[in-house]
A and B are shown apart, each in its own frame.
Chain A
Amino acid sequence: MMYILRRIILLITTILLVSIITFGVFQILPGDPVRTMLGTEADPTQIENLRSELGLDRPLYEQYVDWMKGLLTGQLGNSIRFSMPVKELLFDRLPVTMSLAGLTLIIVLIISLPLGMFAARRQNKLSDVSLSTVTQIGMAVPSFWLGMMLILYIGLQFSFFKISGYIPWTQSVAGALSTLILPALTIAIPQIAVNFRYVRTAILEQVQLDYVRTIRSKGMSEQNVMYKHVLKNSMIPILTVFGLIMAEVVAGTIIVEQVFSLPGIGQLLITAISNRDFPLVQGIVMYITVAVVMINFIVDVLYSVLDPRIRLR
């Protein structure tokens, strides 16, 4: 109970801190939302009208206080650029980013775990060395480039894949997959490389421990040694890395949604920032904050599941 309470307090302080920092950045950032929105064609009357209509003629700290008050009552305010409630915009886009992040994590898990175990068992053999080399390259590849390559060499060659846009799961599962697989791979490949290396190291460390020699000498099958004991005991360090990877994936969606024109949160964030849309940026930042804090929460809970000696305090 105490643990949950402390978590909630942490969440609130983080939100407060992050929103103040975002607010601060907006103070220094040059550019004006109304001018950016209306462009070069606007006459001064239109600029003034819109500014007072949106309440932007008030000092920024007043706008911030208003926004804070709204947040306490569950309101995120209206987007300047889209003249729509921020909440609506967020909820429209959440499924896209959530699906993308979820699919990416699944891909990372199902590839990096077996691969890492395989490499650990064949330590310093040719297959291990070549896998380590390939993953070194995988980590170095920038995701926007990878995305373009996947579009060119897979997206345009196979008509199954859509290279832009999003089809909701509710409309068609195959459709959703056709829009999400390539972007998910784009984020996943560097993360697979990272995770692979951690899994390999964690398992190698375990394998050298005394208990492994003992159970092996008992005559336990290699299968059982690996899955029942070694893997389970390596999970703690792997989980730590995986928590970081999850946060990386949330960040990765920002770039990748851009490359694949996916109407997700990340894309919305870039639009919001380049349009100096303060309420919208704050709304999205809240989403990212909550997502990252939640991920850490889940990781903490999983620690105690994996290792009963760890208690949540």
Chain B
Amino acid sequence: MQWKKSGLILLTVLMAIVMAACSSDGEKTTTTSGTTDGQAATDAPQEIVVRVNDDPDFLDPHKATASISYQMILNIFEGLMAPETDGSLKEGLAESYEISENGLTYTFKIRQGVKFHNGDDLTMEDIQYSFDRLMGKNGGEKMSNSFDNVASTEAPDASTFVIKLKEPNSNFLYSLTGRQSAIIPKSNDGKHNENPIGTGPFAFVKYAPGTNLELKKNEQYWQEGLPYLNKVTFAFQSDDQAAIMSLMANEVDLTSVPWHRVSEVEGSYNLSHQNNNSSLIVTFNETKAPFDNVKVRQAINYAISKADIIDSVFAGYAVPLGSNMSPAMGDFQKKGLESMYERDVEKAKALLAEAGYPDGFKTKITVSSHNDIYSNIAQIVVANLQEIGIDVEIEVVEWGIWLDRVYFGRDYAMTTIDLTGRASAFEVLNDYISTNDSENFFLFKNEEYDKIMADVLKETDQAKQIEYYHRAQEILAEQATAVYIADYQIVWGSDKQVTGLKSYPFWFHDMSEVKFSN
């Protein structure tokens, strides 16, 4: 009997492990208890319940790295600069700024009368503290690599803050938003994660792990008249299908809608389409044969049908890409690259033969199970590549294992993933790809490309920067660095009364201008 009991316990645990490993829904486990709030929202429409897939990794803005966290906490924190919906920047806590001729000295005029959520005034000391904390200058460890290029910071008077760089960097202002360098009060040292305090439109109330994150209106917000809502609840719910049902049952007011279920909510809910600015790719380990051969990569590019993937996986809600850069980035995107590799099976076969694989080869595509889209894409890839004789086996692994093996371990042949959108064109092109970057997991190496990414930082003229960026995109396409498939749209479904939603070229639920109107 004893053994039976232990066996039963063991079975329970193993079952849970197997479930966690196999199921895609079980992957990012979360929930919502927004039920009561959802009810309240219909009676007194100053409160909103927003469904988010997962818990934040940290509430401390300097510690957090996951984009899902910033999606929520950028409502609490602000930086000297603030993001704009078109991917540019505007002044945030800095009222104005000047950059010296040599591009090394940045002088910020700080907004006066800004208060933290605890009622304290924002002072130079807090700004100094925030940067020191990030750079590891006040005893702690360095918390970010973005400020390695900073030579010094100082506050010559009570409304001026100066940052000096070692080398010019035309992308530096992008490191000064709430995402990279939130300004937090010195008085809260040691408690930034348990009780986060910032200057943003909403103040932290409560975090219930696996359930929700509650925020309330910042009554003293420096932008007159904002925000409109009294309360924002981010309810965690991992399952997309369950989220749609919660929207229908009025338990949440805003959620993303799975593409194939858009027709069910059309009409009774407001739908808005956001170009996610991410780039969905099928990529290869470019140090491994046969993918080290550019002709093989080009052949695969000719063989894979972007249209098939866009239609069947995203129900058409996606824009085809030709490089990492999405049309959401405006002028920074080089147009026309998306049609460089129109589907052409014969050409693909010819290229494969030239590369020395006339009969194709066998390989494996490793995909993460945390979202269905990856295995769905893999299936189309398998069918497409079969036509040119490449035999692909699909291996589905848990997200944690994907990160470990593919992303960090780089022990894979092919994979598919979407590269998260960045606010700056430089980061879109540099992160994941340039050999200067530690995240280059497909191990692409191209000297001209690396040189462009280094040179562009020294260029201050935007028109010339754009030229550099365009050339970089051409290289990615010519070298068939990856199969750049699409930037898929996120379809947001919201209560009919919700207005003022803004969409950014990265993940951010900006609640500052949202309100319920009748």
Query: With A18-B9, A165-B35, A167-B35 known to touch, is A35 a contact of B404 (CB < 8 Å)?
Result: yes
Within 8 Å CB of B30, what residues of A? Answer: 261, 271
Query: With A36-B400, A41-B420, A156-B248 known to touch, is A267 a contact of B143 (CB < 8 Å)?
Result: no
Within 8 Å CB of B468, what residues of A? Answer: none
Query: With A49-B143, A84-B209 known to touch, is A254 a contact of B35 (CB < 8 Å)?
Result: no
Q: Is A268 within 8 A of B9, CB to CB? A: no
The minimal Cβ–Cβ distance linking B302 to chain A, given in whole angstroms, is 28
The minimal Cβ–Cβ distance linking B346 to chain A, given in whole angstroms, is 37
Tell me the chain A residues, 5-54 only, with Cβ under 8 Å from chain B.
10, 14, 17-18, 21-22, 25, 29-33, 35-46, 49-50
Number of residues of chain B lying within 8 A (CB) of chain A = 68
The minimal Cβ–Cβ distance linking B134 to chain A, given in whole angstroms, is 10
| A interface residues (Cβ-Cβ under 8 A, vs B) | 10, 14, 17-18, 21-22, 25, 29-33, 35-46, 49-50, 79, 81-84, 89, 92-93, 151-152, 155-156, 159, 162-167, 171, 175, 179, 247, 250-251, 254-255, 257-259, 261-263, 266-271, 273-276, 285, 288-289, 292-293, 296
Query: With A165-B35, A292-B9 known to touch, is A156 a contact of B142 (CB < 8 Å)?
Result: no
Within 8 Å CB of B403, what residues of A? Answer: 31-32, 35-36, 39-40
| B interface residues (Cβ-Cβ under 8 A, vs A) | 1-2, 5-6, 8-17, 19-21, 25-36, 55, 57-58, 63, 65-68, 141-145, 193, 208-211, 235, 237, 239, 242, 245-246, 248-249, 251, 398-401, 403-405, 407-408, 420, 438-439
Closest to B248 in A: A156
Q: Is A270 within 8 A of B36, CB to CB? A: no
Within 8 Å CB of B17, what residues of A? Answer: 25, 29, 273
Within 8 Å CB of A44, what residues of B? Answer: 145, 438
The minimal Cβ–Cβ distance linking A290 to chain B, given in whole angstroms, is 10
Within 8 Å CB of B20, what residues of A? Answer: 270, 273-274
The minimal Cβ–Cβ distance linking A175 to chain B, given in whole angstroms, is 7
The minimal Cβ–Cβ distance linking A109 to chain B, given in whole angstroms, is 21
Query: With A156-B248, A165-B35, A292-B8 known to touch, is A274 a contact of B399 (CB < 8 Å)?
Result: yes
Q: Is A30 within 8 A of B405, CB to CB? A: yes
Q: Is B33 within 8 A of A165, CB to CB? A: yes
Closest to A258 in B: B26
Q: Is A293 within 8 A of B404, CB to CB? A: no
Within 8 Å CB of B209, what residues of A? Answer: 79, 82, 84, 89, 92
* Bound complex: CA A180 to CA B10 (Å): 27
Within 8 Å CB of A37, what residues of B? Answer: 57, 66
The minimal Cβ–Cβ distance linking B162 to chain A, given in whole angstroms, is 25
Q: Is B29 within 8 A of A267, CB to CB? A: yes
Select one of B16, B58, B66, B249 contacting A270, CB under 8 A.
Answer: B16
The minimal Cβ–Cβ distance linking A103 to chain B, given in whole angstroms, is 17
Q: Is B29 within 8 A of A42, CB to CB? A: no
Q: Is A42 within 8 A of B65, CB to CB? A: yes
Within 8 Å CB of B25, what residues of A? Answer: 258
Q: Is B5 within 8 A of A263, CB to CB? A: no
Closest to B439 in A: A40
Closest to A261 in B: B31
* Bound complex: CA A33 to CA B398 (Å): 13
Query: With A39-B65, A45-B144, A164-B251 known to touch, is A83 a contact of B32 (CB < 8 Å)?
Result: no
Closest to B400 in A: A31
Query: With A164-B35, A165-B31 known to touch, is A254 a contact of B251 (CB < 8 Å)?
Result: no
Q: Is B249 within 8 A of A83, CB to CB? A: no
Within 8 Å CB of A43, what residues of B? Answer: 65, 144-145, 438
Q: Is B2 within 8 A of A261, CB to CB? A: no
Q: Is B15 within 8 A of A41, CB to CB? A: no
Within 8 Å CB of A42, what residues of B? Answer: 65
* Bound complex: CA A145 to CA B208 (Å): 28
Q: Is A163 within 8 A of B249, CB to CB? A: yes
Q: Is B31 within 8 A of A267, CB to CB? A: yes
Select one of A166, A262, A268, A275 contacting B400, CB under 8 A.
Answer: A275
Q: Is A274 within 8 A of B13, CB to CB? A: no
5 CB-based A-B contacts, threshold 8 Å:
A14-B5, A39-B67, A166-B35, A258-B239, A271-B30
Within 8 Å CB of B405, what residues of A? Answer: 30
Chain B CB within 10 A, most for which of A21, A41, A81, A292: A41
Q: Is A288 within 8 A of B13, CB to CB? A: yes
Q: Is A175 within 8 A of B400, CB to CB? A: no
Q: Is B400 within 8 A of A151, CB to CB? A: no
Query: With A45-B142, A46-B63, A268-B210 known to touch, is A251 a contact of B404 (CB < 8 Å)?
Result: no
Query: With A83-B58, A163-B249, A269-B16 known to touch, is A41 a contact of B27 (CB < 8 Å)?
Result: no
* Bound complex: CA A163 to CA B21 (Å): 25
Q: Is A156 within 8 A of B143, CB to CB? A: no
The minimal Cβ–Cβ distance linking B71 to chain A, given in whole angstroms, is 12
Chain B CB within 10 A, most for which of A79, A82, A259: A82
Query: With A14-B6, A36-B399 known to touch, is A156 a contact of B245 (CB < 8 Å)?
Result: yes
Select one of B12, B34, B211, B242 contacting A251, CB under 8 A.
Answer: B12
Q: Is A21 within 8 A of B10, CB to CB? A: yes
Within 8 Å CB of A33, what residues of B? Answer: 400
Within 8 Å CB of B15, what residues of A? Answer: 251, 254
Query: With A274-B29, A274-B398 known to touch, is A267 a contact of B408 (CB < 8 Å)?
Result: no
